Amino acid sequence: MPELPEVQTTIDGLNKKIRQRRIISTWNDWPKFSSVEKTQGHTIKKIERIGKNILFYFTDPHILLVHMKMTGHLLVGEWKIGRDGVIPIKPKEMKERINGFIHFILVLDDGKMVAFSDVRKFGKVVFGTLDEIENLPELKKLGPDALKISLKDFSERVLKKKKTIYQTLLDQDVVAGIGNIYVSEILWQVKVHPLTPANKLNKDQLKEMCKATKQILSKAVKFRGTSVDDYRDASGKRGGYADHRLAYGREGEGCKRCEVKMKRAKKGGRSFHYCPDCQKLN
């Protein structure tokens, strides 16, 4: 699933390419994405992020919310989606080349198109007024942004939870933006076992964890996110953070600190990666 760095990278690309453009027509092939039809005639003022949600703010008081969920990504241009990524095609060929992965398109007044590709169709799209969208329950209950949260807030929110620190950091109501990839990276850096109860962490561990969260996510934004599965940025390019991973997806490989083989395990149906030597469960 695209996490904070991937969503931020997408937003940065969208803001560079489509701000102040008017939507002149739309296309969709799936009922859950039909609300994009209401964007026709609206001009895009800016695109912002709340947690993992992408918000298109229009010049009148309306918003289009897009959540990419597990396999979604937004692409700008005229594209054909292929096994190896995206291939530019001429605008007139766009509809002829649409395959099963693209489920909605916004056609802009400068000839560009914004296409939403989602292999598993888990993505979420909602159109509404400024007040309606900003007061959606799923946005109102989100915790502080992972890049902005204070140490005090981070510590208080984590210590309230009896579940594992792995599950706690994945809980968007505790802190918004972290998913499977970066929780494994964060916990490896601070040498905390993923199954450690969140309310058992000490002051020093919480301080280092909050610091590591911001460092790792900022670094991942710098490298334009992680492409280990479907994620591509707004130009269809892969993110570069996969080459800098120290924990996620490295099961069977030697730990970068102690060379003991990394392990993969599951909790609550979600996978995590850790070093059994550096990250002992006390």
Give tens-digit pLDDT for 242-275: 999 999 999 999 999 999 999 999 888 888 999 9
The domains located in the chain, with CATH, are: 4-140 (3.20.190.10), 151-274 (1.10.8.50)
Q: What is the torsional sign of CA 94, 96, 97, 99? A: positive
What does the DSSP 8-state code read for residue 257? Answer: T
Q: pTM for the full model? A: 0.90
Task: Identify the active-site residue in 3, 6, 78, 185.
Answer: 3
Q: How far is CA 33 from CA 30, 66, 126, 160, in A?
A: 6, 10, 8, 37
269 phi and psi angles, rounded to 5 deg: 80, 5
Q: Which of 21, 52, 224, 232 is catalytic?
A: 52
Residue of 45, 238, 270, 276 with catalytic role: 270
- 3 an active-site residue? yes
202-234 pLDDT, tens digit each: 999 999 999 999 999 999 999 999 987 778 889
